[in-house]
Amino acid sequence: MSIERVKWWEEQVQLVSSHTPVTHTQVTAKFEPSKFARRSSLDVEQQINKVWEAKCAQNPRLYNGDKFRLAGWNNEEGKWVLHIGLTCYKDLCGTNLAQNYRWIQEKGTKDFGNMQAYMSDPIGVGVVVMTCDGFMVVVRRAGWTGEYPGALDRPGGHPEPDRVLNIDSTSTLGHSSSTLNDVVLKEVWSSAAQEVEDEVGIPKEQLRDITLLGVLLNMEAGGRPSLEFFIRCGLSSSEVKEAYERGCQSEAEETTSLHLLPPPTVALISKFLYPPPPTVNCVASESSKCRKEGKEREREAKWVVEEATPALKGALILALHHHLLPTTTST
């Protein structure tokens, strides 16, 4: 399996993918908490503590929690191998989300030749969801969320170590230690569908054909990584709308609205994700021939890109890279 960077003109995110979407059987995990932990330094630790104290003072409800850390990846025997350690939300706030994250990256490069050496880099997951009638699921983030409040995003979140690990002993709950890598990978992979159910209300049994599009590195957050997935949904757009509006999902408070993008809109998104070609007149000429409905879809596609988080834009680029989204509309 060939793993390579996907070229894109924006500097907000870096994308890594293979030539085709990756199935569960094509991925393995190496879970080594000590080997794949972030490096420690007195000045970095002092900053983390200072940032955390300030955040807790602003929000007494804030609490720390363990997360999986993505330390890297490689291609081994035709499989995509994820190097996974442990980190926590406190470290995320004091490194990736710190205002001076570039200083921490520069220090990592200087001390270890690795700009991410001191970074928390928790594993996030994001999901491009397509309904059975071809609509794409997009949500608007709640205003209280710490990152990109009010922006359009794909459903997503984090795999949770405490669902499968006893953190104190790094042993599995109900599993032998020999299957630790498999258990961690299962939690990482299954968390994609879990987040869709928790945020949107789509039952997991209606989510199928889960594939990994690639790794997204958010450069606005110190290279924070997320695994971007593509999932087909057995429900129609109207059924998804009904499920969301029932409000029974466990993370309903994390979003304020659901947007179901029809195929003609999805087909036009690539036009606004990539830089315009040199022959701008061609775009203007094509646009002038659009019917009223076509112009409305074009405005909607532009709106999505303008309102999107860097992660949503990167996920869409990966889906386009794998030819999973339409790029032309019918006339």
* 136 closest CA partner among 268, 262, 240: 262
C-alpha 92/C-alpha 70 separation (Å) is 12
Find the DSSP H helices in 17-88: 42-58
| Contact call for residues 322 and 213 (beta carbons, < 8 A) | yes
User: Within a 10 A sphere around the Cβ of 192, how many other Cβ atoms?
Assistant: 26
Greatest CA span in the chain, whole angstroms? 65
C-alpha 27/C-alpha 185 separation (Å) is 8
Residue 94 token pair? 């004091």
User: Within a 10 A sphere around the Cβ of 169, how many other Cβ atoms?
Assistant: 8
Residue 46, burial from CB neighbour count under 10 angstroms (0-12, 13-18, 19+): exposed
Statement: 3-321 belongs to CATH 3.90.79.10? yes
| Contact call for residues 90 and 161 (beta carbons, < 8 A) | no
Q: Is the pTM of this model over 0.95?
A: no
Digitized pLDDT (tens) for each residue of the chain, 331 residues in all: 778 888 777 788 999 999 899 999 999 999 999 999 999 999 999 999 999 999 999 888 788 999 999 999 999 988 999 999 999 999 999 999 999 999 999 999 999 999 999 999 999 999 999 999 999 999 999 988 878 999 999 999 999 999 998 766 545 555 544 589 999 999 999 999 999 999 999 999 999 999 999 999 999 999 999 999 999 999 999 999 999 999 999 999 999 999 999 999 999 999 999 866 554 444 444 555 456 778 889 999 999 999 999 999 999 999 999 999 988 644 3
Hey, which residues does 257 pair with through a beta bridge?
140
List phi, psi (to 5°) of 140: -105, 130
